[in-house]
């Protein structure tokens, strides 16, 4: 893969993948799926990647109008996970967004590799999100090779306030409602750096199919929440469903599980740098 096209590159997980690809010398074209001015801390995120000569940022219409060079050995990254957690499901019903992506993949199905970052909830029997399921089913059939990465809760720098841990950290600087959202999977959790490593390794192997990333630790999310001294009344929506994992999904225990104290300190320090400067 010589080039990556990332749809929604400033979303939480996608942003970390973007930075990792840039560090590997891969050219990344980041495509906005919404008005960029709606992206929190946009200037700070642009500062982290904007100096890299391999990074290009475009709106969706700008990308559509200049597709002649978008061929051959290209990876297409779509983080459904981020959009799901941020409750931006409406994007999957907006043809102005989905149609050009689907059309591009249909026209170049023999030349592109598709990487879908997905919420682990898609593997449950009660997942409510037909728009997401339909979009994923359509997209994964359009590439010469498709990889699907299913993620549990992810934490670390740039985690969004949709996650309980980030709410706790932000509450030191502004008033927030601290509550575990229904969409946060609390049966497992991975530090963002620990999750990115196997994703990039599997992308390089070009193995196709579905991959479920796991910490390999029992009650890992709850242990992390206990470390943060989060009370039970803030965890009323704890996940209890069992995943339906068939032989088509490969379980991938991450090689490294960063200790809570180190990972949490990194996220807490990052929140402090962001929010203390905006008080």
Summarize pLDDT for 19-68 with one digit per residue, the tens.
999 999 999 999 999 888 888 899 999 999 877 889 999 999 999 887 76
Q: Which residue is associated with the tokens 């359009």?
A: 142
- DSSP state at residue 34: S
* Helix residue ranges, H only, the chain: 12-23, 42-49, 60-64, 80-85, 95-107, 130-139, 164-170, 192-205, 220-227, 260-276
205: number of Cβ within 10 Å? 8
Q: Which residue is associated with the tokens 């890299």?
A: 52
96: number of Cβ within 10 Å? 10
Write the pLDDT tens digit of every residue in 218-254. Answer: 999 999 999 998 877 676 555 667 888 888 899 999 9
Tell me what the mean pLDDT of segment 212-221 comes to.
Answer: 94
Supply angle C-alpha 164, 237, 227, rounded to 5.
Answer: 45
- Please state, rounded to an integer, the average pLDDT across all residues of the chain: 90
Which carries the bigger pLDDT value, residue 74 or residue 18?
Answer: 18
Write the pLDDT tens digit of every residue in 146-201. Answer: 999 999 999 999 999 999 999 999 999 998 888 888 899 999 999 999 999 999 99
Q: What is the pLDDT of residue 117?
A: 97
DSSP-based three-state secondary structure for 211:
strand
What is this structure's pTM?
0.94
Q: What is the pLDDT of residue 71?
A: 61
Write the pLDDT tens digit of every residue in 74-131. Answer: 899 999 999 999 999 889 989 999 999 999 998 888 888 999 999 999 999 888 888 8
Q: What is the pLDDT of residue 227?
A: 92
Let me know how long the chain is.
279
What is the residue-wise DSSP string for 124-190? Answer: STT---HHHHHHHHHHTTSSSEEEEEEE-EEESTT--TTSHHHHHHHTTTS-------TTS--S-EE
């Amino acid at each position: 893969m010589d080039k990556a096209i990332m749809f929604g590159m400033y979303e939480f997980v996608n942003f970390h993948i973007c930075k990792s690809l840039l560090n590997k010398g891969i050219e990344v074209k980041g495509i906005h799926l919404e008005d960029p001015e709606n992206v929190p801390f946009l200037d700070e995120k642009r500062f982290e990647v904007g100096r890299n000569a391999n990074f290009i940022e475009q709106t969706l219409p700008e990308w559509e109008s200049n597709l002649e060079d978008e061929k051959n050995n290209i990876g297409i990254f779509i983080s459904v996970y981020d959009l799901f957690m941020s409750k931006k499901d409406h994007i999957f019903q907006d043809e102005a967004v989905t149609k050009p992506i689907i059309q591009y993949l249909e026209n170049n199905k023999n030349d592109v590799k598709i990487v879908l970052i997905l919420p682990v909830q898609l593997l449950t029997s009660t997942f409510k999100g037909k728009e997401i399921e339909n979009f994923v089913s359509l997209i994964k059939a359009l590439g010469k090779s498709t990889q699907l990465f299913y993620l549990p809760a992810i934490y670390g720098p740039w985690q969004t306030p949709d996650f309980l841990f980030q709410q706790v950290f932000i509450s030191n600087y502004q008033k927030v409602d601290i509550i575990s959202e229904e969409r946060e999977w609390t049966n497992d959790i991975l530090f963002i750096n620990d999750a990115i490593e196997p994703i990039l390794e599997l992308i390089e192997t070009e193995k196709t199919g579905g991959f479920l990333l796991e910490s390999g630790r029992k009650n890992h999310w709850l242990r992390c929440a206990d470390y943060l001294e989060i009370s039970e009344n803030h965890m009323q929506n704890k996940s209890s469903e069992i995943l339906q994992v068939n032989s088509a999904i490969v379980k991938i225990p991450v090689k490294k599980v960063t200790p809570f104290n180190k990972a949490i300190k990194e996220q807490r320090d990052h929140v402090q740098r962001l929010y203390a400067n905006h008080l």
